[in-house]
Amino acid sequence: MESYLIAISIGILIYMLMALGLSLHYGFTGLVNFGHVGFFAIGSYTSALLALQGVPIPLAMVGATLLTALAAWPLGIVALRLGSDYLAIVTLGFSESVRMMLQSEEWLTRGMHGLPGIPRMYEGWIPAAQIDLAIMLTLLAVNGAVFWLVTRVVKSPFGRVIEAVRDNEVAVRALGKDPARFKTRSLMLGAGLAGLAGAFQAHYLTFLSPEQFVPLITFYIWIAIFVGGANRLLGVALGTVIMVGFLEGSRFVRDFVGGISEVQMASVRIWVIGMALILIVLYRPQGILGTKAGKST
Amino acid sequence: MSLLTVRNVSAGFGGMLALDNVSLDLNQGELLGLIGTNGAGKSTLFSVITGYVPSRAGVVQFDGRDISHMAVHTRVRQGLARTFQVPREFSQLTVMANMMAAAPDAQGEKLLSIFFNPGKVQREEEQVADRARDLLQFLNLSRVADTQAGKLSGGQKKLLELGRLLMLEPRCIMLDEPFAGVNPVLIGELSERIVALNQRGMSVLIIEHNLEELSRIVPRMYVMDRGKVIAEGKPRDVLSQDAVREAYMGGVI
Amino acid sequence: MELIPILNAVINGTVLGTLLSLPILAITMVFGISRFPNAATGDYMTLGAYTAVATQAWIGSSLVLAVVSASVVTALIAVFFYLWVFRALAKRSNVARLIASLGVAFVVRTTITFFAGQDQYNLEMGRIMRAWNWHGIRILPMDVYILLTAIGALGIAFVILHATPLGRRMRAVADNPDLAAASGIRSRRVMLYLWLLSGFFCGLGGVLLAIKAVVVPELGFELLMPMFAAVILGGIGNPIGAVVGSLIFGISQEIATLYVGPSYKIVIAFLVLLVLLLFRPQGLFGRPIMAR
């Protein structure tokens, strides 16, 4: 039981890092990023490949985070000149392209076979039975630090400007500021967070495959930030817990209800997510903790 | 001394010319009006001057510099700022935050400074906050400083937009229908503020439909109709010209 | 450079481009009038494909019946979601409609997979007819069938859009975002017809695609990215642009696949999209995009 709870917590904490990044993108800057899982993938594979080459895990993870943030830069340059409709399409294309390349470039990633044997975090430093607990505690600490960091950013003048960009980009231009600069930085910061989450994923699971990085993951994170309130950090945390709780809990529903197969359960799960998206947008777009504003979604 | 010079500017799409060979001068320290029927091209002219719309021909100069090809935000940094017909407040931010967001070149806008130079960022924030509070007082908006901008009335939003503009300490401001949608009581206040700013040396160009109010405060105005400038001069003279009366008879005032 | 494979790629690309021009037309009209990219388009196509399979399984093996039922059912479902979801969001932001359409996409797809599972299905096409082969250039009889049906549907669409007052209104609104913002023009009737038409074309596109490809749950969603790229290529809100964009995209993708392999289809679509947005975001036929 305990190990199961630890595993769930790790899942929540990894997703939470991603959700904080997406919240920065959408909740605070108004960027509709449908390709977040692409950053997750880049972080994962980069850290894994670096570690497999002998780079110490902490260094690999830092490198992965930085590389992912850098990868967001060209995407920003191109996509941020235009409105959110286009950004959604382009970012989706980005993450799908990343997944396709991970699948095809077998010389690098072993494609669909997956990448096994990734060095496990704390391997050799801590007794094997305690490693998962250690990973969870590390993630807890990292999440705490990231919360602090994002809070500082959001409450700063930079944070004010990105919220202004979200609310009225044209007016930001009229104040002599270039929205593209701010959007790109926000994109890079959020991408870095997703990359960091990916690095944790790689050194926890020790096995990666392109199937772990499908668009569905991006939309799980979207639900997480929507449910709690996209521009409230506490809401993001709450939403992530609810979302993962739902995903995990739905596995047990099958045991109680019976009569439906695992495959059907998977359909039900995603059906609920789709309905949640529709209902939240229709009736409570600000999420649980968000407040109704003068002009929001 | 001409601060803002528009020479032979034309703009439009396809066969349609929204602006046809328009020229205009705004002198240093002047309070200038621009009137015209709906669709005359006034807002388009604003948009061309400020860079939101490209021109096909002609030149826009500000303070002796050719700004015709500069990006919107670069023109603003030269000292030329504008408001919008429909107010563009940052709806989810408070009035105070709206004002402070306008502060140019804040240290705290640099991510690295936030973490490596927090003291400086904090000091600057305090200075900016003081300026913002002063301006809010000047505009009589202090009461609503902590209200979300989206919840303000139309007139208050326009005042806020003016306030945000003033945070930039511009040389010249362009107001697009500042009195539209503002309740009559507030119009007088708004008018007074604009005149007061002008008396302090601010050059102002105003588009307005409210001819009464505008004629009261501007010593000189241009009239546009169907993309062209058709008259220029003192309000009383201009409004009595035949061409101007015809344009208004035919169009919607 | 061998000519024969390229010609075959052109033929294949033309067939794909023509049948995909139906859902692409649907996307561009909705994008132009309701101002949001409809993420449910792909899954509406999937719905069409599965409806056709179901029709053949339960009602009769007639392909024509399957095609008709696919289109009609999808049209009705599209109208349903308009009445329940998109109409209520008419005054909200484009992003709200986009996210809601994503929810609709999930709901449609998972409703299908709950009953049909993740298995593959195929449409029955009567006697298996062999491809006509002329010195290596292959044309499948079913391709001709697809082309004729798609062209016929396009013809009807263009008649509606250009010769009826309703269609003209739709085109006027789709082409001019400022007009679209003035909600007086978007009457209930225009919207109902818009979604009826969109749904019909998505369903029809889906079943025509099912003739060529295996029916799987991801059938439509996979194509979202390339379809949107084609919409942007043609210019949002422009029906002719949609067809032209679709053909150009279809043919160039098939030719490119000869050289880089099928996995890179998405990557190519993405790169083309990026280049487009950098240099000509209004596409071939659209109006230049302006900030206000």
The string of pLDDT tens digits covering residues B164-222 is: 999 999 999 999 998 887 888 888 888 888 999 999 889 999 998 777 888 888 999 99
Among A185-199, A247-261, B1-15, the range with the most confident prediction by mean pLDDT is A185-199
Among C181, A170, C176, A179, CA closest to B53: A170
Whether B88 sits inside 8 A of A174 (CB atoms) is yes
Residue A47, token pair as written in the block: 């850290």
Is B71 found in the same domain as B110? no
Of B151, B181, B199, which marks where a domain is finished? B151
Residue B58 zone, left/alpha/beta (φ > 0; ψ -120 to 50; rest): left
Distance between CA C105 and CA A222 in Å, rounded? 15
Whether B47 sits inside 8 A of C292 (CB atoms) is yes
Instruction: Give the model's pLDDT for residue B253.
Output: 45
Cα-flanking dihedrals φ and ψ of residue B21, to 5°? Answer: 55, 55
Query: Which range of residues forms the domain containing residue B53?
Result: 2-89+170-250
Residue C11, token pair as written in the block: 């033929």
Residue B246 has pLDDT above 80, yes or no: no
CA angle B73, A157, A197 (to 5 degrees): 105
Nearest Cα of chain B lies from the Cα of A145 at a distance, in angstroms, of 13
Residue B140 has pLDDT above 70, yes or no: yes
Residue of chain B whose alpha carbon sits nearest to that of C290: B53
More confident residue, C25 or A75: C25
Instruction: Give the model's pLDDT for residue B250.
Output: 56
Instruction: Give the model's pLDDT for residue C186.
Output: 57
Instruction: Give the model's pLDDT for residue A13.
Output: 96
Residue A141 lies in a domain: yes
Residue A252 lies in a domain: no
Q: What is the DSSP letter of A211?
A: G
Is B111 found in the same domain as B225? no
| Contact status, residue C30 vs residue C40, Cβ threshold 8 Å | no
Residues of C within 8 A of B72 (CB-CB) are: 291
Residue B208 lies in a domain: yes
Is B83 found in the same domain as B200? yes
Instruction: Give the model's pLDDT for residue C273.
Output: 80
Distance between CA B225 and CA B214 in Å, rounded? 18
Nearest Cα of chain C lies from the Cα of A45 at a distance, in angstroms, of 19
Interface of chain A against chain B, CB under 8 Å? 152-153, 156-158, 160-161, 163-164, 166-168, 170-178, 182, 185, 189, 231, 293-296
Q: pLDDT > 90: what percent of chain A?
A: 61
Whether C277 sits inside 8 A of A93 (CB atoms) is no
Q: Which helix (H) or strand (E) holds C139?
A: strand C137-139
Task: Give the number of domains in chain B.
Answer: 2
Distance between CA A163 and CA A156 in Å, rounded? 11
Report ipTM for this prediction: 0.87
Residue A282 has pLDDT above 60, yes or no: yes
Mean pLDDT for the stretch of residues A57-79:
92
Helices A215-228 + A262-283 axis angle, to 10: 40
What dihedral do alpha carbons C170, C174, C176, C180 form, nearest 10°?
A: 80
Among A96, A117, A119, CA closest to A38: A96
Residue B84 has pLDDT above 70, yes or no: yes
CA angle B133, A150, B144 (to 5 degrees): 25
More confident residue, B150 or A80: B150
- On average, the pLDDT of chain A sits at 89
What is the interface size between A and B, counted as CB pairs within 8 Å?
A: 111
Which of A157, A174, A294 shows the shortest C-beta gap to B91? Answer: A294
| Contact status, residue A52 vs residue A207, Cβ threshold 8 Å | no
Residue A227 lies in a domain: no
Distance between CA A197 and CA A222 in Å, rounded? 16
Is B117 found in the same domain as B83? no
**Full DSSP string of C195-258:** HHHHHHHHHHHHHHHHHHS-B-TTTTGGGHHHHHHHHHHH-TT-HHHHHHHHHHHHHHHHHHHH
- On average, the pLDDT of chain B sits at 88
Residues of C within 8 A of B47 (CB-CB) are: 292
Whether C94 sits inside 8 A of A84 (CB atoms) is yes
Instruction: Give the model's pLDDT for residue A59.
Output: 94
Residue of chain C whose alpha carbon sits nearest to that of B14: C287
Residues contacting residue A263 through CB under 8 Å, at least 6 positions apart: C113, C117, C118
Residue B5 has pLDDT above 70, yes or no: yes
Residue A191, token pair as written in the block: 């991408």
Mutate to test the interface with B, among A156, A178, A183, A184 (most CBs of B within 10 A): A156
| Contact status, residue B244 vs residue B232, Cβ threshold 8 Å | no
Residue B127 lies in a domain: yes
More confident residue, A47 or C274: A47
Residue C122 zone, left/alpha/beta (φ > 0; ψ -120 to 50; rest): beta
Whether B52 sits inside 8 A of C288 (CB atoms) is no
Residue B17 lies in a domain: yes
Cα-flanking dihedrals φ and ψ of residue B28, to 5°? Answer: -55, 125
Mean pLDDT for the stretch of residues B63-73:
90
Whether C291 sits inside 8 A of B13 (CB atoms) is no
Question: What confidence tens digit (pLDDT) does each residue in C174-197 have?
Answer: 766 566 555 555 577 788 889 999
| Contact status, residue C74 vs residue C47, Cβ threshold 8 Å | yes
| Contact status, residue A37 vs residue A258, Cβ threshold 8 Å | no
Interface of chain A against chain C, CB under 8 Å? 30, 32, 78-79, 81-86, 88-90, 92-94, 96-97, 100-101, 103-104, 170, 173, 219, 222, 226, 263-264, 266-268, 270-271, 273-279, 281-282, 285, 297
Regarding beta strands B228-233 and B220-225, do their DSSP bridges make them parallel or antiparallel, or are they unpaired? Answer: antiparallel
Whether B13 sits inside 8 A of C288 (CB atoms) is yes
Instruction: Give the model's pLDDT for residue C3.
Output: 83
Task: Give the number of domains in chain A.
Answer: 1
Mean pLDDT for the stretch of residues A155-171:
93
| Contact status, residue C203 vs residue C75, Cβ threshold 8 Å | yes
Question: What confidence tens digit (pLDDT) does each residue in A211-254 have?
Answer: 999 999 999 999 999 888 888 899 999 999 999 988 888 877 76
Is B175 found in the same domain as B85? yes
Residue A278 lies in a domain: no
Strand partners, B12: B17
Distance between CA A79 and CA A31 in Å, rounded? 10
Residue B34 lies in a domain: yes
Instruction: Give the model's pLDDT for residue C280.
Output: 76
Residues of C within 8 A of B12 (CB-CB) are: none
Instruction: Give the model's pLDDT for residue A190.
Output: 96
Residue B159 lies in a domain: no
Touching chains, B (3+ CB pairs < 8 A): A, C
| Spans of chain C below 50 pLDDT | 290-292
Cα-flanking dihedrals φ and ψ of residue A30, to 5°? Answer: 75, 20
Instruction: Give the model's pLDDT for residue C182.
Output: 59
Touching chains, C (3+ CB pairs < 8 A): A, B
Residue A269 has pLDDT above 50, yes or no: yes
| Contact status, residue A296 vs residue B92, Cβ threshold 8 Å | yes
Which of A176, A185, A294 shows the shortest C-beta gap to B77? Answer: A176
Nearest Cα of chain B lies from the Cα of C288 at a distance, in angstroms, of 9
Whether A160 sits inside 8 A of B84 (CB atoms) is no
Cα-flanking dihedrals φ and ψ of residue B33, to 5°? Answer: -105, 155
Is C287 in the B-facing interface, judged by CB distances under 8 Å?
A: yes
Residues of C within 8 A of B13 (CB-CB) are: 287-288
Residues of B within 8 A of A72 (CB-CB) are: none
Residue B61, token pair as written in the block: 């100069």
Mean pLDDT for the stretch of residues A164-175:
92
CB hemisphere CA count around A138 (13 angstroms): 18
**Full DSSP string of chain B:** -EEEEEEEEEEEETTEEEEEEEEEEEETT-EEEEEE-TTSSHHHHHHHHHTSS--SEEEEEETTEE-TT--HHHHHHHTEEE--SS----TTSBHHHHHHHT-TT-GGGSHHHHHH-HHHHHHHHHHHHHHHHHHHHHTT-GGGTTSBGGGS-HHHHHHHHHHHHHHT--SEEEEESTTTT--HHHHHHHHHHHHHHHHTT-EEEEE-S-HHHHHHH-SEEEEEETTEEEEEE-HHHHHHSHHHHHHHHHS--
Residue A133 lies in a domain: yes
Distances (CA, A) of A1 to A4, A7, A135, A166: 5, 10, 17, 44
| Contact status, residue C200 vs residue C74, Cβ threshold 8 Å | yes
Residues of B within 8 A of A182 (CB-CB) are: 109
Is B146 found in the same domain as B30? no
Nearest Cα of chain C lies from the Cα of A221 at a distance, in angstroms, of 13
Instruction: Give the model's pLDDT for residue A257.
Output: 72
Distance between CA C83 and CA C86 in Å, rounded? 7
Show the domains of chain C with their CATH numbers: 3-123+139-279 (1.10.3470)
Instruction: Give the model's pLDDT for residue A294.
Output: 37
Instruction: Give the model's pLDDT for residue C4.
Output: 82
What would you measure as the largest C-alpha separation in chain B, in angstroms?
66
Instruction: Give the model's pLDDT for residue A241.
Output: 94
Of B118, B151, B184, which marks where a domain is finished? B151
Is B129 found in the same domain as B25? no
Token pair 């109409």 is found at C87
Is C257 in the A-facing interface, judged by CB distances under 8 Å?
A: no
Residue B66 lies in a domain: yes
Residue A92 class from Cβ within 10 Å (0-12 exposed, 13-18 middle, 19+ buried)? buried
Instruction: Give the model's pLDDT for residue A297.
Output: 40
Residues contacting residue B187 through CB under 8 Å, at least 6 positions apart: B155, B179, B210, B213
Question: What confidence tens digit (pLDDT) does each residue in A7-25 have?
Answer: 999 999 999 999 999 999 9
The residue type found at B188 is G
Query: Which range of residues forms the domain containing residue A157?
Result: 2-213
Question: What confidence tens digit (pLDDT) does each residue in A107-134 have?
Answer: 888 888 888 889 898 888 888 888 899 9
Distance between CA B205 and CA B220 in Å, rounded? 10
Q: pLDDT > 70: what percent of chain A?
A: 96
Whether C292 sits inside 8 A of B13 (CB atoms) is no
Residues of C within 8 A of A82 (CB-CB) are: 277, 281, 289
* B16: CATH: 3.40.50.300
Residue A79 has pLDDT above 80, yes or no: no
Is B237 found in the same domain as B205? yes
Residue B37 lies in a domain: yes
